[in-house]
Chain A
Amino acid sequence: MKTIYKTVCSGLVLLLLTLTAQAGTQVGAFSVRGLEKYSGAKLSLYYVSGRPAGLGTNGQEIHVNKVLKGPEKYRITGDGVVAIKSVNVPRDGWTSYNYLIFVVHTQPAHALTNPDYRNGRVTRDPVRYYESDVNIEYSKVNNSFEYKTYKTSREVQQGGSIDL
């Protein structure tokens, strides 16, 4: 009986995994608050597969395996609240969508980068995008930002609001 139960459950899990694979993850609409001081600036939102630092400290960045959706671009208005629309985050290979990265910037486009290490020094490398048509030229200007933070996908609830 136990074996049958396990077999059925395993089969269902596999079936569910298969069914959800192509659909990706639907992330409901939510809002962000606390950006009053950046009124008029732009907010670029990245839905990514990423990993935190091996040893997490204040000021750590999420190392982006791949940007699965975005950047979604918004304008920050006077009240510092931004309504984020619902999106579908696609699945890609062995990655899982697990972080959202919020970047406030004033230049027209923002280029997300990862810290890397080459030739004895830390470098900034452009991240990879799932959507092949995303083509943000990497430059010092495009890499600059006013404020950057991240949230885990579990922190974002449909219809909820989060403080940045």
Chain B
Amino acid sequence: MRWAKRLKILLFLYLLVFGSMAQAQEGSRFIPHSIGVYFTPQGQDFFAQDLEGLFYNNGISINQAYFGKFQYETQEKYLEEMIPNQHQLANVIRTLREGIARYLVGLELGKHKFQIDFEDLDVAINWRELGIEIIDPQLFDDELESNTPTLTMNLNLEVDRFQLSVGKVRARDINHPIFGEIGLDDLMISMQQNGPALYLNLPVNFYSSEKKGFYVEVGTPDMNLEALNLGMEYRPPMILPSVELNINGHSITVNQDEVELLFNEQKEQIFQTAQRELQIWADENAAAFINQVAMKKIDSGLIETNTMLPPGAPNIFARNFEWGLKVAGIDMFGDHLHIGLDGFVTDPTQSNDFDLDQSLQAQALPHMNSSKLQGRDLALSLNQGFVNKIIKLSSLRGYFSHVELDAGESIKLTKTPVLKLDQKKPALQIEVEYEVEGIQGWFVKNPIRISFDLMVDFVADAQGQISLIGRGVNLDTVFLDSKYIRLFTSKVRAAAKDEIKEMQSDLDGYVIMEGLPLPDALFGIPMIKKNAEIDKNGHLLIYLDFLKY
């Protein structure tokens, strides 16, 4: 069904976004919807095909884990308090403890604090299913309520093989060292082949509101922990404390073989009890626990930071800019999954950052045309404001002070170029310095500065590079300030316009910047840019395909 597209991509995004991003703070100079990512159904499938490889590319192993040494400590509690929902057993233990305290001297049982050491702990998982069902709730609600999620995601996991092996387990009560240690060697716990697969279904709702911004709510997980058929093996004998009673000089010892036999007889029941308790915890507390952990991060925003080579830098050794993206919203655009990202970019060599003028930023979300996405894996939208901030930072380093022309000539740029895509004739607004020569020079105060709109277009080549191409000067925008004119203002201005008019044919098709430094990979998956176009709301739209890697 169209509304329910099985995705694996969001699981990946979810883990990356919520698992490893730093927390954003107030005061950041974020440009709203700096970048929009639109995954088509075809692009979603690409992710789904090799989720394991995708995680690997990002340094995560999802089918195996290894811990050389691992220690776990319980909270300090009386033994009966460690057995929830087992009131009968708890009462027996309490009575026993009180009896020991009353009748035996030299054995005081207080609160226990168990410490368990694991060595060579190895986990291996075989995923039968690892996916996500995406539901666009907006398609169901005729009258949308304010609390309708923008997107609902059902996380579906199914494990048909699971194996946990531990080289050595040793447990002790650090409050009662008298008991020594109990333990097992070469312990192996695994799902039995004739048993059911472990499944987990977790509903996750994404919301976006003016009051609370972007947030996530996790529902109660549906899982079958209790039904699992787990088996356990270990290399005997068990490590048990040596217990010896002395009655009038006669020594009585505990038969360790019988204790071990009892453990083996009861191990199935022990597993069932543990599984039942975990199931109860999952049913009653897991959602609240996950929401608490997730919202701690999401409440204050999430941001991923990295570095980029400044456009126009003379070489790769230039100090990189620093930039960051924050998830601002996740929703559906038709069949396409849309992730909106607010962004910032700064220059670490500049002590003070600055806000970009609102007029230089896109004032609305991109007007994405669904038909243009046909046959592509994804599209990216780049807010002109984000691009302008980068250009401004490069300009401040002097990278865009000159534009090299053919025949070794260059034009001096006297203002930071501004990209304006949200106007009738999208253009790069520039101001150049020019020395008027000959008799005409008598009528001006050299050097003069002329500003104009150089109309632009973005063109992709067969190699997947996008270049910024000039489409001539918008003559209506040519401006020469009167402070540069000595005599005959109108005639001088007309002459300046004529001069630029003569250059029109040269500027139509002129490559302003070849191979723009645009994103070329998504989470490590290389992409090839197939097409680009200008969005009238002030965004550059890039259509891309993933490359096999």
Contact = CB atoms under 8 A, between A and B. Distances in A.
Partners in one complex: yes
B324 A11 contact: no
Contacts of A60: 306-308
A99 B325 CA distance: 23
B517 A51 contact: no
A122 B348 contact: yes
B165 interface: yes
A55 interface: yes
Interface string B49-88: 0000001111111111111100000000000000000000
Interface string A49-83: 11111111111110101000000000000000000
Contact of A57 (B24, B65, B517): B517
At the interface, is chain A mostly helix, strand, loop or mixed?
A: mixed
Nearest to A57: B308
A17 B193 CA distance: 18
Contacts of A13: 124, 126
B305 A52 contact: no
Contact of A117 (B64, B305, B517, B524): B305
A47 B462 CA distance: 36
A17 B317 CA distance: 41
Interface string A89-114: 01111111011000000000000000
A102 to B, nearest CB: 14
A52 B521 contact: yes
B24 A117 contact: yes
Given A22-B66, A59-B307, A117 B122 contact: no
B306 A61 contact: yes
A157 B165 CA distance: 32
A96 B56 CA distance: 6
Interface stretch (B25-33, B483-491, B503-511): B25-33
A17 B519 contact: no
Contacts of B321: 59
A112 B346 CA distance: 21
Range of interface residues on chain B? 35 or more
A95 B120 CA distance: 16
B322 interface: yes
Contacts of B20: 51, 63, 65
Interface string A1-44: 00000010011011001100110000000000000000000000
Contacts of B289: none
A135 interface: no
Interface in B271-326: 303-310, 316-317, 320-322, 324-325
A96 B304 contact: no
A63 to B, nearest CB: 7
Contacts of B348: 122
B160 interface: yes
B307 A61 contact: yes
Nearest to A50: B59
B508 to A, nearest CB: 29
Contact of A118 (B25, B317, B320, B346): B25
A133 B261 CA distance: 43
Interface residues of A, number: 44
Contacts of B407: none
Interface centre among B22, B61, B67 (most CB of A within 10 A): B61
Nearest to B301: A117
B518 A57 contact: yes
Contacts of A121: 346
Given A63-B20, A120-B28, A115 B66 contact: no
Contact of A22 (B24, B120, B522): B120
Given A11-B161, A117-B305, A122-B346, A51 B524 contact: yes
B65 A18 contact: no
A14 B163 contact: yes
A119 interface: yes
B76 to A, nearest CB: 27
A147 B320 CA distance: 12
A93 B66 contact: yes
A97 to B, nearest CB: 8
Nearest to A115: B305
A95 B163 contact: no
Contact of B61 (A52, A96, A99): A96
Contact of B303 (A49, A95, A117): A117
Nearest to B70: A93
Given A18-B163, A116-B22, A51 B59 contact: yes
Contacts of A92: 66-68
B522 A55 contact: yes
Contacts of B306: 53-54, 57, 60-61, 63, 115
Nearest to B311: A58
A117 B324 contact: yes
Interface string B187-207: 000000100000000000000
Contacts of A55: 35, 325, 380, 519, 521-522
Lowest 8 CB-CB distances: which A-B pairs, in order? A59-B309, A56-B521, A120-B27, A49-B59, A53-B306, A51-B58, A55-B519, A21-B66
Interface of A: 7, 10-11, 13-14, 17-18, 21-22, 48-61, 63, 65, 90-96, 98-99, 115-122, 147, 152
29 contacts: A11-B161, A14-B161, A14-B163, A18-B165, A50-B59, A51-B16, A51-B57, A52-B58, A52-B524, A55-B35, A55-B325, A57-B517, A57-B519, A59-B316, A60-B306, A60-B308, A61-B306, A61-B320, A63-B20, A96-B60, A98-B56, A98-B59, A115-B305, A115-B322, A116-B22, A117-B23, A117-B303, A120-B26, A122-B322
